[in-house]
Amino acid sequence: MADVIGSALKRHEDIRLIRGKGQYTDDMKIPGMVYASMVRSPYAHARIVAVDTAEARQVPGVQAVFTGRDLKDEVGMVPTAWIPPDSDMKMTPHPALAYDLVRYAGDAVAVVIADTPYIAQDAADLVRVEYDAMPAVTNPRDAAKEGAPLVHEDIAGNVAFHWKAGVSVDEVFNKAEVVVRHEFRQQRLVPSAMEPRAAVAQWNAATDELTVWVTTQNPHIHRLLMSGMLGIPEHKLRVVAIDVGGAFGSKIACYPDEVIVSWAARKLNRPVKWTETRSENFTVTTHGRDHVEEVEVAGTKDGHIQAIRVKSYANLGAYLSTAAPGVPTILFGLIVNGAYAIPYASAEVFGVLTHTTPVDAYRGAGRPEATFLVERMVDLYSEAVGMDPLAVRKINLIPADAFPYTNPFTLQYDSGNYQGALAKALEMVDYQQFRKEQDNLRKQGKYVGIGFSTYVEMCGLGPSEVAGAVGFQGGLWESATVRVHPTGKVTVFTGASPHGQGEETTFAQIVAQELGLPPEDIEVVHGDTAKIAMGWGTYGSRTTVVGGAAIHMADQKVIEKARKIAAHKLEVGEDDVAFDQGLFSVKGLPARTVTFQEAALDAYLAWSLPKGMEPALEGTAFYNPENFTYPFGTHIAMVSVDPETGDIELMRYVAVDDVGVVINPMLVEGQIHGGLVQGIGQALYEGAEYDDQGQLLTGSFLDYAMPKARFFPKFETAHTVTPSPHNPLGVKGVGETGAIASTPAIVNAVMDALAPFGIHDLPMPLTPRKVWQAIAAKGGTH
């Protein structure tokens, strides 16, 4: 049998999805179900004077209208689950339905529940809310200034926390030959999973149990948080996420909506469904990024970077969302030195509240921001010292013999060969030839550019002890149960909650390889707290790294027990039994065998088991990783810029990624492609904009430029493989690399193209108009 790990198996989940038989939350239909529609504030900051629901209640088919006052004493505040240490973090109480103040446009103030969604929306339009509008603030640095409107009256200066890490860099900067300073704006992005959020809640009055089907990346975290808010104990609360239509971080958070629906289902003793509209998704579902960053790099004249200092204002929106405080701190600040052996580094982050949609994780979550600033700074520093950015990278990349490498923030990079990935990328791109052509083209008034991103990221979240030390209010281990049925078929239960990444297939491949079974004999179950005891979900490129490792451990338990059964049957000692490709055999006597399936049947019949052995065959394991994993690679972008219009064309994109051992190359490529398009989307197209009253100006797909198929050339991808030494499968995680690496590669390439104009940086997204304006400001092409 050929290796299953490493093969491009077609996906198991596709069998239902390509037939339209997926089970997304909005597909749920329960007899007696009623529908919720939210009444939301049009103001970013206002006092609620009065809510008049009389007219709405009179609409035929309306079952109930609830306001913030109805929920106030019955539903707890929407919590925050990350408290960065030593940051003096203030909590931002977030009522599920606002009753005194609204703090962003979209804050919910009432809910209408009706027989059909049409009626619910009709009636929601008839809820009259009187507001006393107040001034709003949307930019994080403005919000932190004295006199800015306060988002929460008791949080002075709108600073929710002030976090610092690293070592003192002052002396290095004071003595440095070269210091480069720059300010970056990481614009706000809208995650835009194609499936809007939804929740269906059903109360069972006989058992006092609540079942909630919800679009979540982490059903168990949802259960934990909702249990606290609703006062329903965890063993009476079931959270289910069967098929989830993409998330990218935006379905980590526990939102008011699912809590409102759950509370109402119990109150009315009717199943209640709520489905978000795309317009709501833009204004209510968490956004990503949104930093203002002041960055300084110190170095020598000959290209050695000695220190980096980062001061960042992270816009967190109106409330601290579930994971929000960890994203611009732990997941950002600790890795701002990137893939470079920069001996001194410090990071300081102000977590700032504004009258905008809450900001939380979005693909990469903190690491794209860190990678962007260091990759851009390497280029700006190269320019300052008059060196080629590739040469400066070669000088400063952490050498292959330095692993495990401890960075200035005490992260220990597990393994790497950054030069190897760079060399592979340079085999795909003739750099010197490109430079020659670039010169020739410039003489003809044509502008092309090349940009590098030699990145590393930290993922595979993560060691639970570290999670605790950095203030995450949960563990980051993962669970797995490998249940072998009497016929030798297998059900795998994972606490991770894949929603498009394909682990129903990847995990089956791990089990198939390790137990020597055909992949089609293995079913992977996820996303249901009634079926899986505990787990922490899917985010931070952790599913295969942590969840997959747990499965590997559970497999070992199964093999160990089955081996004992086989030895008993073969009447030899356990140590004399070999296991290979689903067959137990006596060492040296290959003809004497017991199949895995026979051992499984024996385990269940229990007619003749080794003395003291319990019947049945299953393994449960909990994998708590000892470290994060550190995927890395080199991305190279080549662009041309039309100086007459500012249009940017992406000519080539080369991505060499090292994500450790690859379990399914087809799925790995898919993850990289998806990440690339999101990262390139940030560089060139996407950006959420507010006006100064806190109105989102880019609130639909008519305004917010989601990447489309025609924007891209074919991607050129390749790999190097440096296994993670501490992960039992050697995997490193691939969900976020594309989004992390690509944004700076593109911007570096565009700035390289624009160098003849004396343009060094432009704020993202690099729209044609901005590019043209910059060229025009430098005197244009004539």
Per-residue contact flags (x/-) with other proteins for residues 23 to 42, judged by CB under 8 A: -x-xx-x-------------
Which two tokens mark 150? 């306060």
When asked if residue 715 is in the footprint of other proteins (CB under 8 A), the reply is: yes
When asked if residue 514 is in the footprint of other proteins (CB under 8 A), the reply is: no
Task: Give the span between the Cα atoms of 476 and 602, in whole angstroms.
Answer: 36
Contact indicator for 660, 731 with CB cutoff of 8 Å:
yes
Task: Give the span between the Cα atoms of 606 and 616, in whole angstroms.
Answer: 8
CB of 620 to other proteins, least distance (A): 28
- Binder to other proteins among 711, 755, 759, 763 (CB under 8 A)? 711
CB of 580 to other proteins, least distance (A): 30
CB of 23 to other proteins, least distance (A): 8
Task: Give the span between the Cα atoms of 722 and 662, in whole angstroms.
Answer: 10
Count of CB atoms within 10 A of residue 645's CB? 12
Residue with tokens 């087809």: 666
Nearer to other proteins, 631 or 674 (CB): 674
Nearer to other proteins, 15 or 391 (CB): 15
Task: Give the span between the Cα atoms of 283 and 407, in whole angstroms.
Answer: 38
- Binder to other proteins among 301, 587, 708, 778 (CB under 8 A)? 708
Contacts (CB under 8 A) with other proteins, residues 57-96: none
Contacts (CB under 8 A) with other proteins, residues 589-648: 644-647
Nearer to other proteins, 95 or 643 (CB): 643
When asked if residue 279 is in the footprint of other proteins (CB under 8 A), the reply is: yes
Contacts (CB under 8 A) with other proteins, residues 96-135: 117-118, 121-122, 125
Task: Give the span between the Cα atoms of 460 and 547, in whole angstroms.
Answer: 9
- Binder to other proteins among 255, 344, 704, 757 (CB under 8 A)? 704
Nearer to other proteins, 132 or 647 (CB): 647
Cα 638–644–650 angle (5° rounding)? Answer: 20
- Binder to other proteins among 155, 706, 718, 755 (CB under 8 A)? 706
When asked if residue 507 is in the footprint of other proteins (CB under 8 A), the reply is: no
Question: With helix as H, strand as E and coil as C, how does 525-559 read?
Answer: ECCECCCCCCCCCCCCCCHHHHHHHHHHHHHHHHH
Task: Give the span between the Cα atoms of 211 and 200, in whole angstroms.
Answer: 8
When asked if residue 368 is in the footprint of other proteins (CB under 8 A), the reply is: no
Distance between the two ends of the chain, CA-based, in angstroms? 67
CB of 208 to other proteins, least distance (A): 30
- Binder to other proteins among 700, 721, 758, 778 (CB under 8 A)? 700
Contact indicator for 197, 388 with CB cutoff of 8 Å:
no
When asked if residue 695 is in the footprint of other proteins (CB under 8 A), the reply is: no
Closest by CA position to 657, among listed 437, 421, 480? 421
Contacts (CB under 8 A) with other proteins, residues 129-158: none
CB of 478 to other proteins, least distance (A): 21
When asked if residue 278 is in the footprint of other proteins (CB under 8 A), the reply is: yes
Nearer to other proteins, 560 or 703 (CB): 703
Contact indicator for 284, 255 with CB cutoff of 8 Å:
yes
Nearer to other proteins, 19 or 611 (CB): 19
Closest by CA position to 562, among listed 613, 521, 528? 613
Task: Give the span between the Cα atoms of 183 and 244, in whole angstroms.
Answer: 38
Contacts (CB under 8 A) with other proteins, residues 223-252: 243-246, 248
Nearer to other proteins, 15 or 54 (CB): 15
Element (H, E) at 54: helix 54-57
Enumerate residues 6+ apart whose C-beta is below 8 A from 607.
Answer: none
When asked if residue 733 is in the footprint of other proteins (CB under 8 A), the reply is: no
Contacts (CB under 8 A) with other proteins, residues 309-348: none
- State the alpha helices, DSSP H only, in 444-502: 464-469
CB of 681 to other proteins, least distance (A): 9
When asked if residue 19 is in the footprint of other proteins (CB under 8 A), the reply is: yes
Contacts (CB under 8 A) with other proteins, residues 651-690: 666-667, 669-670, 673-678, 685
Contacts (CB under 8 A) with other proteins, residues 191-220: 192-196
CB of 37 to other proteins, least distance (A): 9
Contacts (CB under 8 A) with other proteins, residues 737-756: 738
Nearer to other proteins, 660 or 699 (CB): 699
CA distances, 183 to each of 180, 339, 775 (Å): 10, 21, 20
Contact indicator for 197, 26 with CB cutoff of 8 Å:
no
Residue with tokens 């994080």: 140
With CB under 8 A as the contact rule, which of the stretches 67-75, 188-196, 368-376, 587-595 interacts with other proteins? Answer: 188-196
Burial of 720 (0-12, 13-18, 19+ CB in 10 A): buried
Contacts (CB under 8 A) with other proteins, residues 487-506: 499-502
When asked if residue 18 is in the footprint of other proteins (CB under 8 A), the reply is: yes
Nearer to other proteins, 122 or 618 (CB): 122
